Amino acid sequence: MGEVVYILCALTSMMCAVLLGRAFYRTRASILLWSTLCFCLLAVNNILLYLDLVVFPPPSPVDLRLPRGLVYLAALMLLVFGLIWDSD
């Protein structure tokens, strides 16, 4: 069940990244650049969660928690920066 959720979340994030990226390409508004990057990284985070569940379940020595956390943190830092700095 969790695997399905994370794939759906990854797809939704990718869709948002595409829409925001396309708009940035057209308008060059920097708020869109930061949001695009945020949703790209959120997609990566969700994919890592999926990998953590399916490809590297708990008994595995590969621990994805640190990369997951760092990617998630980076995503939100970019978003919050963009929403504050570039919202006029």
Partner 1 sequence: MSDEGISDRVKRFIATYISSVAQLETLLLLHTNVNQSWSAADIARELRIEAGGAETQLAALVASGLAVRVSDTEAARAVSKPGDTGPRYRYNPGNPDVEADTVALAQAYLIRRVTVVGLIFAKPPDKVRAFSEAFRFRQDSRKDPPNG
Partner 2 sequence: MPTVSTFWFSFLSGAVCVLCLVAALLFTRFYLRTKDRLFVLFAVAFAILGLNNVLFMFTVNRYTQEPEQPGHPLVYLPRLVAFGLILFAVIDKNRSRTPPGPPA
Any contact of residue 65 with partner 1 (CB under 8 A)?
no
Contact 43, 10 (CB under 8 A): yes
Contact 79, 20 (CB under 8 A): no
What is the chain's Cα-based Rg? 15
Contact 39, 54 (CB under 8 A): no
Interface residues for partner 2 in 47-66 (CB under 8 A)? 49, 52-53, 58, 61, 63, 65-66
Give the tokens for residue 72: 């998630």
From the list partner 1, partner 2, none, which binds 7 (C-beta under 5 to 8 Å, kind-based)? none
d(C-alpha 88, C-alpha 80), whole Å: 14
From the list partner 2, partner 1, none, which binds 14 (C-beta under 5 to 8 Å, kind-based)? none
Residues that bind partner 2 (CB under 8 A): 1-2, 5-6, 8-9, 12-13, 15-16, 19, 46, 49, 52-53, 58, 61, 63, 65-66, 69-70, 72-73, 76-77, 79-80, 83-84, 87
